[in-house]
Amino acid sequence: MLTFEERIDPELLPGLEVYRLLGFTEQRLEGEVIQAIRAKLAEFRELAGSTLPPNDRVARTDHLAPGPEGAPDVPVRLYRPVDASGPLPCLVWIHGGGMILGTIDADDFTCDALSEAVGCAVVSVGYRLAPEHPHPAPVEDCFAALRWVAASAAELGLDPARIAVGGGSAGAGLAAATALLTRDRSGPGLVFQLLVYPMLDDRNVTPSSREFAGVMSWSREHNLSGWSALLGDGAGGEGVSEYAAPARATDLSGLPPALIQVGELDLFRDEDIEYAARLLQAGVATELEVYPGAYHGFDALNPESGAAQRAFATRVRALRRAFG
């Protein structure tokens, strides 16, 4: 039987070293370990910013969206092509990080690339992180940012009738949860949800969630740590909200069309496939892609690989189609 690394697409092997350098050799992510990884991520971002030239074809501006009741305002960053005119469609993008890591800055290059390639605006959300801010803080921040986008559309040069939500990993899980909240709170309306290897199910009971224990990517142990940070002792138990773990939702009807992408070697593989199937069964137009030999975060860690470029091209086509 092949090992985890022997099953990986050879083009994607270099990305595993990033996991090692960031400290994911630690399988329990809590306390000082989280702080250490956050610090290393900040170092990586600073290094990338000093070595990669800024994209002068995309303008960035920072704003504050009114936060949930009784909570701080939510930092957001708006990206738009400098040569674009007229009200633009907008993707509300939510960064990943297992609910415990990540910042707006970390996804600058992703948002630049999507804005330029699609010809749309992107609004990236700086939601509060667990464990300092457990559920419902992260998803309520994301929903608050979405409401701000819709309410400020005219001022920002956006088209309120063409708003999508998306993200990667935990951010994709939050995007799916935001779509549920938007449906259940009667707006703002969404035309699409872009779910890149979404983190959807706190129960960790699928075959793939068990298959990838102890691996050098986002492992079962890492995932248990993330859900525990978000939900505390309630993770995996009864009564967890679907707005925390969208796989818990019993009704997926009335949601916007979706693209779900996941790797063959990602522990989220089976929960993502199941969610796509349930969306289809609920009458939601859904496209699903499973990438052979790809682990969690394969595209972000190996952006020049064929798999990453194919995944990105599909996202661009799907967003263009959704935005019309």
Least confident of 52-56, 124-128, 174-178, 280-284: 52-56
Q: Say which CATH superfamily domain 4-323 falls into.
A: Alpha/Beta hydrolase fold, catalytic domain (3.40.50.1820)
Catalytic position from the list 108, 202, 266, 299: 266
In order of 6, 103, 202, 238, 266, the CA distances from 242 in angstroms are: 36, 24, 10, 11, 22
Relative to beta strand 74-81, strand 88-94 is unpaired
| Residue 296 is among the residues annotated as catalytic for this protein | yes
* Active site annotation includes 63: no
Per DSSP, the three-state class of 104 is coil
**Would you state the pLDDT for residue 49?**
72
Using the predicted structure, report yes or no on whether residue 265 has a pLDDT greater than 80.
yes
- Give the residue-averaged pLDDT of 61-77: 98
Question: What percentage of the chain reaches a pLDDT higher than 90?
Answer: 95
Catalytic residue among 169, 209, 225, 228: 169
Q: What are phi and psi of 138, to 5 degrees?
A: -60, -50
Tell me the whole-structure pTM to 2 decimals. 0.97
266 is an active site residue: yes
Instruction: Please give the pLDDT value at position 69.
Output: 95
Phi/psi at 28 (nearest 5 deg)? -95, 115
**What tens digit of pLDDT does each residue of 206-233 get?**
999 999 999 999 999 999 999 999 999 9
pLDDT digits (tens, 9 = 90+) for 22-64: 999 999 999 999 999 999 999 988 887 766 777 899 999 999 9
CA distance 45 to 39: 10
- Contact between 222 and 199 under an 8 Å Cβ cutoff? The reply is no
Quick check: 161 pLDDT over 90? yes
Average pLDDT over residues 170-181: 98
Residue 93: how many CB atoms within 10 A of its CB?
28
Q: Could you give the CA distance from residue 108 to residue 106 in angstroms, rounded to a whole number?
A: 6
Residues with Cβ < 8 Å from 130, sequence gap 6 or more? 99, 100, 137, 138, 226, 229, 230
Residue-range domain boundaries for the chain: 4-323
| Catalytic residue, candidates 95, 135, 222, 296 | 296
Q: What is the mean pLDDT of residues 151-159?
A: 97
Mean predicted lDDT score pLDDT of the chain:
97
